[in-house]
Amino acid sequence: MKITIRLVSLLLFLSLASCISTQPTQAGALGQELEEKNRNNLSLLQRIRQLPGVTISNGVPVIINTANSIDKSANVEPLYVLNNYIVGNSFRSVIELVDSYNVKSVRKLSSSEASFYGSRAGNGVIKITTY
């Protein structure tokens, strides 16, 4: 009798354990996304400044290439792409569209990667993805 009860208990435990999903729940994924947002709560300018090969000139990001001459009178700002839509070559227009805490990732594209966006991307591309 004891063996039968133990066997039934074990089978019940195993059947319940197999019903439990190992996939993350939506609530868990949402919590992870919020945690990531809070961890990366920097201004957009600070996040772009942290990219390798990017410097700040006159308050706007500039991608440093050997082909670029640092001429203060020329437009040396990169092309900004927000969620795969071309915004333009003005950081000020991008900052009006993006809340810093909604930025998921920031990438710098130069050379062959930037050529996909045409001649406007001659000074490189800053690609911004938001949540």
Task: Specify the pLDDT at position 111.
Answer: 81
pLDDT category at 3 given cuts 50, 70, 90 is low
Task: Specify the pLDDT at position 17.
Answer: 57
Amino acid at 113: E
Res. 7: pLDDT tops 70: no
Taking the domains of the chain in order of start, what are their residue ranges? 44-131
* Phi, psi of 129, rounded to the nearest 5 degrees: -120, 135
- Give dist(CA 11, CA 86) in Å, integer: 59
What pTM was estimated for this model as a whole? 0.65
Amino acid at 122: G
- Give dist(CA 127, CA 122) in Å, integer: 14
pLDDT category at 61 given cuts 50, 70, 90 is very high
- Give dist(CA 127, CA 105) in Å, integer: 8
- Give dist(CA 86, CA 7) in Å, integer: 65
